[in-house]
Structures are given as structure tokens and as C-alpha cells.
Amino acid sequence: MAENRTLNHIITEQQGSGSSWLQHGFNSVNTAGINEYRRGPLHSVFPTKPAQVSSVQDLFEFICSGPLLEKIGVTAEMVAESIDKWLLYGRLLSQLFQLNELYLTVPQKARIYHYYIPVFLWCEDQIKQHRSTFKNEEDIPPLVVGFSAPQGCGKTTLVFALDFLFQKTGRKSATISIDDFYLTAEGQAKLREANPGNALLEFRGNAGSHDLPLSVETLTALSKLTREGMKMKPPRYDKSAFSGRGDRADPSTWPEVEGPLTVVLFEGWMLGFKPLPKEIVKAVDPQLETVNKNLEGYYDAWDKFIKSWIVIKIKDPSCVYQWRLQAEIAMREAGKPGMSDDEVRDFVSRYLPAYNAYLPTLYLEGPNGSDPKRLLTIEIDEGRNPILAA
């Protein structure tokens, strides 16, 4: 797949955005400008000194101690039977993130063997189920996996890792973000003018600031990439245009995707949000009423295309503010443009009403139109690590 998001792009995008686990092992990437999103180890109980070379038995026991195995239906016996596959995936991810697989720190081992590989195995099983519903002679559309996860929680790196594993194991995949569907700069200006005084629609982000017809067109085209030779270019968005207000990137920069696609990884902070009764959203923030009305068109544009869901759950939406603040501080310390603390507070304040209104329903009922049997909910801590749900 001709995807234009390289490792260095991901690192640059994430300036401190939860990749502190990577800090303890880069050997060829210039990390001078990459500061940790949170000071200290990735997991509060994990040491950050390099681990000794692990035996396969030690690694097996470490894998089996992970919080996601039971959720994805994997037993210790199944791990033992497929340990070669775990070792291969671990080796590939170590290469991707330029880590020494023989001397991973415990945070690095946890991120790879407790998080990324289990999620990849779950996706593989979902693809198998999806493909089993078609007859041999039928064209099989790619499975669209939706990732609903708050900003700053590490979903971009997760999707990047999964995309890499699919490619390395012979499956063609594509990645798309809800950010890619933002209105053009001109469209955003019109939205702002049509909603004077509504801070939630002053900038891109909330429901109403996306080009829904473009979303339908793109997801429909991706679903039709079922054979060799079929190609299309999904849109991309340039957040740096117009002094940070953003604009759709020039089509010449859009990546080319080729069929036959096996899977589409579709991520976004508000995927699966359901419109709520007017009185509920007005109680959270009166400005949210228009956003809630706009949300009514999103199921047909986004959610109905998604057949399998991964929801990354947080306990407190205020984490988003802390993560964003740490990211901007890291950027400033690296000598790059970054928002001030007040600007971060203003930026996040435009998203918090939606989080406060829609996350409880998302966590209680699942994404809009989702099948509980095809939903994986992963609860993470403030360090962005999976934890055992209470």
C-alpha cells in the first residue's frame, strides 16, 4: 500500500504524545526534539532500565500476564501453540520502532506484547469472521475496523503498528482518519459565519465541521477495492495551513491505495457518537445543541461502514487536556511552535462538552449501530496503557 505516513511522520506528529515507551531504545532516529509526554515510566510500576535478554519461557509468562488476553479470547495454551507467531510479530514491531528486541525495557515489552499484538490478533480474527460470510466466487470487500479513541491516547501509533503488521504478513490495508474529512478552509469559514458565537463550531473538530459527502465517497470507494489493479486516493488534511486553521491537502499529495484490500483502519475521536435528547446536551453545554443536530448525519456517513469496533476507554476526559498540554510543552522545549497553556486550555475546551455528553453512552451502549460481538473495549490508564477493567 502506498501510504505516506512514515515512522518519522508519526514521531513528528506525536511530539510527546504517549510514545515515552519509545524513548528508551531508539538507535537511529534523531530523538533530540522528542520529549516524553509524561515524565517517568510508561507504566507506574514498570522500571525503565533495560531488561535482561528474556528466554522464550520468560516471554511466554509475560505475554500471559497481559490484561487483554481474556478479552480477545486467547488462552495460555493458545499462546504456547502460537509462540512463534508472537515472536515474529514482536520482532517486526521492534524493527518498526527501531528497538533492540533482545533488550526491550518492560514498558516497551508491555506496549508490544500486552497491547499491539493482542489487538492485531483480534483484528485478524475479525477479518476471518468477515471473510467467512462470503462465497468463494464473490468479491470480498475489506473489513472496516473503527477505532473510537480520545485525542492524545496513542491511537495513531496503534493504527500505524497494525497497518505495518498487516503489510508484513501479506495483507493490503489502508488507514483513514476522521481528520481527513474536515471541511476545506472555505467550508470552515462558512460554518463559522453560520454559527456566530458558538465556540464549538468556531474551529474544526466537532460534528458539523466534516465533509460528509466526501466521507461517503471515500469509504465507498475503499470498499470497492476488491481486485488487483484497482486504485484510489483517499484525501488527506493539512492542519498547518492558514496559520493552523487547516485546509484540505492538495490532491497531488494524497496517497494511492491499491486493491485488493483486506482491511481499512478508520480512526477518530468521535467515531460512534450517538445523538442524544436535546435536554441532555443542553444541560452539558447549550452550544452543543447544534452539534448534536449535526451528529444525526454521521451514522450514514461514517458508522454504517464500520463492521468491527475498537473503543479505547478513559476514566476521565480531563486526561485529554493533560495529554495535550504535555505534548505542547514538549514541542516548545524542542524549539518548535507550540500552543501556550492558555491556548491549550481553550483548544481542549471546545472538545470537552462532546466528551462529557457522548462518552457515557458510547461506553455503556457501544458505538452507534455496533454489534457487541464485534466490539473490543480497551480501558487505558493515564499513561495510555491497557488495564484490567474493574
335-390 tens-digit pLDDT? 777 777 888 888 889 999 999 999 999 999 999 889 999 999 999 998 888 987 65
The C-alpha angle 74, 373, 163, rounded to 5 degrees, equals: 65
pLDDT beyond 50 at 292? yes
Q: What is the pLDDT of residue 136?
A: 83
pLDDT beyond 90 at 240? no
Which pLDDT band holds residue 199 (cuts at 50, 70, 90)? very high
Quick: pLDDT tens for 242-252. 877 889 999 99
Q: What is the pLDDT of residue 20?
A: 59
Query: Radius of gyration of the chain from Cα atoms?
Result: 21
Helix (H, G, I), strand (E, B) or coil at 83: helix
Q: What is the pLDDT of residue 6?
A: 46
Output the CA–CA distances (angstroms, integers) from residue 292 to 203, 254, 358, in the order listed.
16, 31, 10
Listed residue (324, 354, 380) closest to 17, CA to CA? 324
pLDDT, greater one: 39 or 151: 151
Listed residue (377, 85, 140) closest to 263, CA to CA? 140
User: Which residue in the block uniquely carries the three cell numbers 472538545?
Assistant: 351
Q: What percent of the chain lies above the pLDDT cut of 70?
A: 85
Q: What is the DSSP letter of 113?
A: I
Report DSSP letters for 213-249, one per residue: HHHHHHHHHHHT--STT-EE----EETTTGGGT-EEP
What is the reported pTM? 0.86
CB 209 within 8 A of CB 354: no
174, β-bridge pairs: 264
Q: What average pLDDT does the chain have?
A: 86
Strand locations in 113-256 (E): 143-148, 173-177, 231-232, 237-238, 247-248
Q: Is the peptide bond before 50 cis (omega within 30 degrees of 0)?
A: no
Q: What is the 3-state secondary structure (H, E, C) of 324-377?
A: HHHHHHHHHHCCCCCCCHHHHHHHHHCCHHHHHHHHHHHHHHCCCCCCHHHEEE
pLDDT beyond 50 at 14? no
Task: Please give the backbone phi and psi of residue 310, each rounded to the nearest 5 degrees, phi first.
Answer: -120, 120
* Cell, residue 116: 499491539
Listed residue (180, 263, 185, 248) closest to 218, CA to CA? 180
Q: What is the pLDDT of residue 19?
A: 53
Distance CA 28, CA 5 (A): 18
User: Which residue in the block uniquely carries the three cell numbers 462465497?
Assistant: 135
Q: What percent of the chain lies above the pLDDT cut of 90?
A: 68
Least confident window among 1-15, 83-97, 126-140: 1-15
Distance CA 258, CA 52 (A): 42
Q: What is the pLDDT of residue 375?
A: 97
Lay out the sheet containing 143-148: strands in order across: 173-177, 263-268, 143-148, 308-313, 375-379
Listed residue (207, 271, 260) closest to 230, CA to CA? 260
